Structure 1
Amino acid sequence: MNLLLDSYAELAGSPVRRETGNLIIHLNRLIGAFDDEYEERLRDGRSLELDDVFAGKLVQERLLALGLFLQPYPEQRAIREFLTGRLSDSYGRYVSLTKAEPDFDRFYESVILDSGGLGECLAHVIGLFNGVVPDPEMVEQFSSFGIVGKLADDVIDFWDDLAQGRTNVLVGLVQRYPDEHERVLQVASRTACRRLAWWRLNCPNSFAVLIGLVAEHRARLKAPSLRLAADLTLVPAHRGSFRLRSAPVGLRI
């Protein structure tokens, strides 16, 4: 979180107020609760109407917490209007992507809309809270950071996502190459995780495309702190597994 805030300061040329970290934590927690509620409803076949997803118990709790945090700040109205407009503009397309036939193009567009969109959202909210409007390049860098993180997560979560039928860019890539797809299916039932070396050896085409996407988005990161933050998200994927002693502050709290 500190690296993200340092990145914004580096790109904007001015420091952010110290309360910004708390704001972003509250926002991440709300987005995480919304995402979990959405995934549960998708899995159970329940309504995905926006009002129904927002009615989820944890979503309401996190929404209230964000509102209470912002209450003393005059920027609250602008932030609320931005978030509402952003969600209204993108939610319909996101739902249609989750219901479409699974393939790489659909998976990758979901990543751009979801994880890339989260990065853009963070840039705009940080800017609104600090009175510094982010320029398009800043927004693009935060978007690319979100995409790099999601691609790394998809390597780590590949086997679970494959078994559960969840959206995963690497699953979509492997399906493009029948030989590699067959090789994956042969080991899926006895595989918990694999290092990147396994992918390089057994699924070279899928691996090359994935690494190309990571390199493309990483190259857009000009702020040193943002590039370091992105590199840290890649470490677990490179190692093949990664365990924390306690839950991280972020989307899954």
Structure 2
Amino acid sequence: MNLLLDGYAELAGCPLREETGRLVVHLNRLVGAFDDEYEVRLGNGHSLELADVFAGELVQRRLLALGDFLQPHPEQHAIREFLVSRLSGSYDRYVALTQSAPDFDRCFESVVLDSGGLGECLAHVIGLFNGAVPETGMVEQFASFGIVGKLADDVIDFWDDLANRRTNVMVGLVYRHPIEREKVLQAAGQRPRARLAWWQQNCPNSFGELAHLIEEHRARLNTPSLRLAADLVLVPARRGSLPLHSTPVGLRI
């Protein structure tokens, strides 16, 4: 989280308010609770109406916590208006994409809307809180960071997402290559710990395409802090598992 904030300050050329980190943590926790409620409802076949997802108990608690934090700050109104406008403008499309077949184009569009969109939201909210609208290039870099993290996350979550038919870019890539798809389906029962060597050996085309996507978006990050942050979110995918035993406080990408 500090690296993301440092990266923003490097791009903006000015320091951030001390409370900015707390704001981003509150926003991150709200997004995480919303995502969890959405996934549960999607899996159970329950309503995905925006109001119903927001009515979830944990979502409401996180929303109130964010509101309480922002209450003494005059920027609260601009931040709220931005978040409401952003979510209402992309939510219906996101729902449609998460309910579609594991097609790569749709999966990647979902990543751009979800994780890339979260990165963009972070940049805008940080800017609004600090009294400045971020430049387009700054927003694009935060979006690319979010995309890198989600692509790495899709490698870690591959077997679970495949079994539960969740949106996953790596699944979409594998399904484009019949021979690699067959190898994956044969291995699905054992759920091997798929380190990079496993992917390179069994799914070289899919893995190569994923690596190209990751490098394309990582190359767009032009500050040391954002590049280091991107390298850190790639570590779990390189290991083939999460190196932590509890949920990190940082970005849920």
Q: Does 1:110 align with 2:110?
A: yes
Q: Give the partner amino acid of 1:115.
A: S
Paired residues of 1:31 and 1:251 also in contact (CA < 8 A): no
Count the aligned residue pairs.
252
For 2:5 and 2:49, the matched residues in 1 are separated by 33
Q: Give the partner amino acid of 2:236.
A: P
Residue 120 of structure 1 aligns to a residue in which SS?
A: helix
Q: Percent identity?
A: 74
Q: Does 1:204 align with 2:222?
A: no
How far apart are residue 202 of structure 1 and its match? 1.1
Q: Give the partner amino acid of 1:28.
A: N
Which ranges in structure 2 are unaligned for 5 or more consecutive residues?
Answer: none
How far apart are residue 66 of structure 1 and its match? 0.2
Residue 184 of structure 2 aligns to a residue in which SS?
A: helix
Partner of 2:91: 91
For 1:131 and 1:225, the matched residues in 2 are separated by 22
Partner of 2:63: 63
Partner of 1:137: 137
The 5 A counterparts of 1:215-234 are: 215-234=215-234
Partner of 2:249: 249
Partner of 2:213: 213
Q: Does 1:35 align with 2:35?
A: yes
Which ranges in structure 1 are unaligned for 5 or more consecutive residues?
Answer: none
Q: Does 1:159 align with 2:140?
A: no
Paired residues of 2:149 and 2:234 also in contact (CA < 8 A): yes
For 2:157 and 2:50, the matched residues in 1 are separated by 27
Query: CA deviation digits over 1:119-160, x for unaligned, max 9?
Result: 000000000000121111000000000000000001111111
Partner of 2:171: 171
For 1:164 and 1:247, the matched residues in 2 are separated by 21
TM-score, normalised on structure 1?
A: 0.97
Report the aligned-residue RMSD. Answer: 1.1
How far apart are residue 250 of structure 1 and its match? 3.3
The 5 A counterparts of 1:43-54 are: 43-54=43-54
Partner of 2:180: 180
Q: Give the partner amino acid of 1:214.
A: I
How far apart are residue 11 of structure 1 and its match? 0.1
Query: CA deviation digits over 1:18-64, x for unaligned, max 9?
Result: 10000000000001111111111111111111111111111110000
Q: Does 1:195 align with 2:195?
A: yes
For 1:111 and 1:71, the matched residues in 2 are separated by 32
How far apart are residue 99 of structure 1 and its match? 2.0
Residue 227 of structure 2 aligns to a residue in which SS?
A: helix
TM-score, normalised on structure 2?
A: 0.97
Partner of 2:25: 25
Partner of 1:5: 5
Paired residues of 2:98 and 2:166 also in contact (CA < 8 A): no
Residue 41 of structure 2 aligns to a residue in which SS?
A: helix
Paired residues of 2:7 and 2:226 also in contact (CA < 8 A): yes
Residue 221 of structure 2 aligns to a residue in which SS?
A: coil
